[in-house]
Structure 1
Amino acid sequence: MSLASPSLPSRVAPGRDDAAAIPGRDEGPLVPLVVDLDGTLLRTDLLLEGVVAILRRNVLMLFAMLAWLPRGRAHFKRRVAEHAALDFATLPANEELLAYIELQKTLGREIVLATAADELMARRIVERFPLFDRAVSSDGLVNLKGEVKARRLAALFPRGFDYAGNAAVDLPIWARAERVILVETPASVARAARAGGRPIEEFAAAPRLRALAKGLRLHQWAKNGLVFVPLVLGGLAGSAGAWAEAGLAFLALGLVASASYLLNDLWDLPHDRAHWSKRHRPLASGRLPLATGLAATVGGLTSGLALAALAGPAVLAAVLAYLAVTLAYSFSLKRVPMLDALILGGLFTLRLVIGVAAVGVAWSPWLLTFSMFLFTSLSFAKRHTELRGAVRRGRTGQLSGRGYRPADEPVVLAFGIAAGLASIVIFILYLANEAFRHAVLSAPLALWAFPLVLVLFMGRIWLLAGRDELNDDPVAFAVRDRPSLSLAAVAGLAFAVAAFGLPGWGY
């Protein structure tokens, strides 16, 4: 079924010769340029976007969607299009391809959108991109995909057409096209398309493995190093078995945490795309396909929980608690001001709990309280940075996806600095009341270096936050900041000396 853009009447481009119009074309009229939508014009899949949007609004709609499936894929797409509330203006587009389409439009070519997405969604795309003269799409009865789309285009354009697509399902269409335009296609698909012997143009894709690594936030695994802290402070630094147990818990937590980051980004897509910096995240920008993100989420959760179970029931319970709190935060509690920072601080503290459960050392209320205050302070620093950014851009309303307003900045600043100072005091109290009472460390005096490191680190974080020089995430900033890394090295050395001692050290 075809539809015309409300702002551009359907028309056929006049024939003309122009060797510069299309690289490699020497003669003949300019045939229509037909462009696919999912994964081509847009760096996303509208059906998956719609499904996620529906579930975001009401998870119970999953059962309704299961009831739509038996009536066919075209019907399913129509119902998803009717129920999904998508912000079409922020969906990530392939800007390089768009520039190419604009050039072809200036040469007088007819530009056609041909998509397996439902007509209701195709209409919104044509409204956003008035470059298109018309669109052909699925209509609730026919799923315009693969061979079906190929036959439709061949009937509409008997004199030929050029086709821009991205997937194996486009191979039958490229077989009928005058020119093959490959848009960020997998290598196997590109090889199959080249075998057809037609002229080819390519828009190369950025490596998706890099996008996946960024989406998994592998740098955040530095946080999971807290799992090893109870081992050291519990006097088990010399036990290879304890290191192995903690290492297994570390790996399990890392996989679950990375999967939860992806799940959070999937759930938060509309807000991320409206955010000044988060719109560059892999899923929000489309550099990481939604399908890949979903698969990595399921794989990470499954493998992480399996490893946690292997580490023991206590570790599994702690990792499940971490996952439950993370999901509650992602789906709801992140929008509650002040509480959101406390929850993030609690998630850091749960990493220590997992470490305690892994190696079976005694619980330290001082250490857990210290962790809660320290990481709550860093969480407030993150919110403070976001609020400062909103003030710079003249925002006055509530932050997208958050419960804060720019006017809350002074309160967040006060609470953040207060929590940071409290963490330092609590660590000193830990040293005075617990570290020297139990003969588990070889040289506990070395731990007195840690409060000094904390003062310098927290001072630097909040100083840079006030100068607008802090990354949105203080942890991500710290792992790239040389002074912070130097302070971490000093802290690590202090822990090593405390655990193993040096000649002449002791009580």
Structure 2
Amino acid sequence: MSVSQQVFHRAADRADATVAATIAPAERQGDQAPLVLDLDGTLLRTDLLYESFVAYLRHNPLGFWRVFGWVLKGKAHVKRELAAAAPLDLDSLPVNEDVAAYAVEARASGREVYLATAADGDLARRIAARFPFLTGVIASDGVTNLKGGHKAEALAAQFPDGFSYAGDCRADLAVWRTSREIVLVGASPAVEKAARAIGEPVAVFPRPPSGLKVYAKALRLHQWAKNLLIFVPLILGGKTLDPAAWGATTAGFLALGLLASATYLLNDLTDLPDDRRHWSKRERPLAKGSLPIRTALILAPLGLAVSFGIGAALGPPALVMLGLYLALTLAYSLRLKREPIVDGFVLACLFTLRLGFGIVLAQVVTSPWLLTFSMFLFLSLSFAKRHTEVERMVQHGIKKTAGRGYRAGDGPLLLAVGASAGVGSVLVMVLYLIQEAFPAGYYTKPAFLWAFPAVLFLWVGRVWLLCQRGELKDDPVAFALKDRTSIALGGVMAAAFLASHIGQF
């Protein structure tokens, strides 16, 4: 089948009297040239090839090697196979609303609006059903990849009297050379300069923000604060003045941060359809389309490689701890986060693994009380996060959130389990002080340490009070880093810790 035969007219395919009545044949439009829209990066803020690839791996991870066989048969063939095998959530794909509004206005003025895309024709037609302003679709056919010169030839043959073309990348320059009008959508400065050398654009849609803030948000750099836990064993283990311990732990902090950022990207790729339907996660860079999927597919393995490279330099024990963290994180992302209660337990384990990594790096012997305390405390905070999400579900009238195992009625259970775990962490702290801290003689004035369980109780109580009131954000750890009361309580604990060592404030 030739590319030109991939064109279809909506009025012929759909019994829609209203649409059919408003469509004017191209030969009767006079000087109104048809508006032709590219799909990837133009009408959509994403690339369907990468969307299909990720969706395919999401549902068939072991089928990765099949893609190599498809590639050998050409790009158009890959697109055809992925379009058939990948279950894409087409209705949630991010749309460039400005371009869509421009197309609606053109259609209202009597112009025909076509979609011309290098995406596979079957997939393109399914997406076209989402946009009632489209007259028809011109797309790849499984043999010819409709991009660059191929697209230019197909459009010139389809619209011999001229057309207006909206595109975004260097491959579209060949199309603009044959078009009557140029519409630039999110083009890079180099592409815009080359396009203006061909002709003055009739419309320019600027590129979405793609600076350091977008990358920082996608990589969750603010979450690196959680990795400061690896310094706790060093401080509590009596190696505060050991430069070698500080050097190894700092390198480990960097390795763990890179690993965490890489796994966040992998998690977001896995969760794309669910995140796009979530009230807050839809603003994540990958879900929103402000960070290209292909960029994430490069950054994730790069982060993993550098992280494990640092781990190898630190020694086998560090490498093993990074491997455990990666394995548990992947298990969480792929399956365990969908299991109620289990997900909170896994998150607590990941926090406690940070402490274990710190123990390995600083080469100290740390009390099991520390790891037990960590499990109880972070179990409480994990369930606080889930409780907040459940309450948001209720507010939005949702009975069950996609990608999670909780239902709207699970709030009371999460409140009970989470608050109990928080109180349990206070109890573990008290037992640690009585059973180990005071008798061990580590501290000059250990009585100051009684401030710890008191402050901890106040903070945990505050977290759950705000959580129950619906005033807590999704992540209680991120909330604590910005909340003035939490910061003040943390200052009290730091002062008490110093006083226990030096004997006075």
Bin for the TM-score computed over the shorter chain: over 0.9
Partner SS, residue 182 of structure 1: strand
Please tell me the residue identity of whatever aligns with 2:357: I
* Structure 1 partner of 2:219: 216
Amino acid corresponding to residue 2 of structure 1 in structure 2:
V
Q: Which runs of 5+ in 1 are unaligned?
A: 17-27
Q: Distance in 2 between matches of 1:64 and 1:476?
A: 41
Aligned residue type for 2:438: F
Distance 1:370 1:155, change over 3 A: same
1:455 aligned onto 2:457: yes
SS in 1 for 2:409: helix
Which residue number corresponds to residue 502 of structure 1? 502
Confirm whether residue 120 of structure 1 aligns to residue 122 of structure 2: yes
State the 1:48 CA deviation. Answer: 1.2
Contact 1:11-1:133 at 8 Å conserved across structures? no
The 5 Å alignment of 1:60-99 reads 60-99=62-101
Structure 1 equivalent of residue 179 of structure 2:
177
Q: Indicate the RMSD between aligned Cα atoms, in angstroms.
A: 1.9
Unmatched runs of 5 consecutive residues or more in structure 2: 1-5
1:368 matched to which residue of 2? 371
Bigger drift between 6-15 and 420-429 goes to 6-15
- Contact 2:40–2:46 (8 Å) recurs in 1: yes
Cα deviation per residue 1:126-172 (whole Å; 9 max; x = unaligned)? 10001110110001111101111011112222222221111121121
The CA deviation at 1:175 is 2.1
**Partner residue of 2:276 out of 273, 277, 280:** 273
Amino acid at match of 1:418: S
Q: Distance in 1 between matches of 2:362 and 2:240?
A: 11
Equivalent residues in 2 for 1:438-453, closer than 5 Å: 438-440=440-442, 444-453=446-455
Q: CA deviation at 1:109?
A: 1.4
Local SS of the residue matching 2:147: coil
Distance 1:90 1:123 in 2: 16
Distance 2:406 2:74 in 1: 44
| 1:411 alignment counterpart | 413
SS in 2 for 1:488: helix
Query: Counterpart of 1:482?
Result: 484
- Tell me what 2:258 maps to: 255
Give the aligned partner of residue 38 of structure 1: 40
For each residue in 1:409-440, what CA deviation from the matched residue of structure 2 results, as whole angstroms up to 9, or x when unmatched? Answer: 11111000000110111112222222234455
Which amino acid is 2:223 matched to? Q
| 1:69 counterpart letter in structure 2 | V
TM-score (structure 2 length as normaliser): 0.93
- CA deviations on 1:442-498 (whole Å, 9 max, x unpaired) are 655444332233222211211111111111111222222222233233334444555
Equivalents in 2 of 1:179, 1:495: separation in Å?
A: 70
Match of 2:432 among 409, 426, 430: 430
SS of 1:361's equivalent?
coil
Q: State the Cα deviation string for residues 218-273 of structure 1 (Å, max 9, x = none).
A: 11011000010001101111222221111100000000001101100101111111
Query: How far apart, CA to CA, are the structure 2 residues paired with 1:495 and 1:255?
Result: 30
Pairing of 1:218-237 with structure 2 (within 5 A): 218-237=221-240
**Equivalent of 1:186, from 184, 188, 191?**
188
Partner amino acid for 1:100?
Y
SS of residue in 1 equivalent to 2:72: helix
> How far apart, in 2, do the equivalents of 1:337 and 1:110 lie?
50
Change (3 A) 1:244 1:438: farther
Q: State the Cα distance separating 1:366 from its structure 2 match.
A: 0.2
- 1:24 alignment partner in structure 2: none
* One-letter code aligned to 2:264: Y
Is 2:444–2:503's contact at 8 Å kept on the other side of the alignment?
no
Tell me whether 1:330 sits opposite 2:333 in the alignment. Answer: yes
**Equivalences for residues 376-395 of structure 1 within 5 A:** 376-395=379-398
- 2:490 equivalent to 1:472: no
Q: Is the 8 A contact 1:40 1:164 kept in 2?
A: yes
Q: Distance in 2 between matches of 1:491 and 1:216?
A: 30
Contact preservation (8 Å) 1:233, 1:441: no
Bigger mean CA deviation after superposition, 99-108 or 416-425: 99-108
Q: What SS does the corresponding residue of 1:195 show, helix, strand or coil? A: helix
Could you say what secondary structure the match of 1:471 adopts? coil
Decide whether the 8 Å contact of 2:162 with 2:180 is kept in 1: yes
Residue 15 of structure 1, CA deviation:
7.3
Q: In 1, are the aligned partners of 2:445 and 2:503 still within 8 Å (CA)?
A: no
Equivalent-residue separation in structure 1 for 2:132 and 2:245 (angstroms): 63
SS, match of residue 134 in structure 2:
coil
2:3 alignment partner in structure 1: none
**Letter of the 1:422 counterpart:** G
Contact kept, 8 Å, 1:219 with 1:479, in 2: the verdict is: no
- The code of the aligned residue for 2:254 comes to L
* More divergent stretch after superposition (166-175 vs 246-255): 166-175
Equivalent position amino acid for 2:302 in 1: G
Q: Is the 8 A contact 1:14 1:109 kept in 2?
A: no
**1:329–1:82 CA distance, 2 compared to 1 (3 A):** same
The percent identity for this pair of structures is 50
* Higher deviation after alignment, 177-186 or 349-358: 177-186
How many residue pairs get aligned? The number is 491
Higher mean C-alpha displacement, 137-146 vs 386-395: 386-395
1:386-412 CA-partner distances (Å, limit 9, x unpaired):
11111222233x321111111221111
1:4 aligns with 2:9: yes
Structure 2 CA distance for aligned equivalents of residues 363 and 462 of structure 1: 29
Structure-1 separation of matches of 2:109 and 2:495: 66
Which of the pair is proportionally richer in helix?
2
What is the CA-CA distance between 1:276 and the residue it aligns to? 1.9
Give the TM-score, by structure 1 length.
0.92
Worse overlay, 150-159 or 288-297: 150-159
Instruction: Give the structure 1 partner of residue 351 of structure 2.
Output: 348
1:163 pairs with 2:165:
yes
User: Match of 2:488, as an amino acid?
Assistant: S
Distance 1:117 1:476 in 2: 40
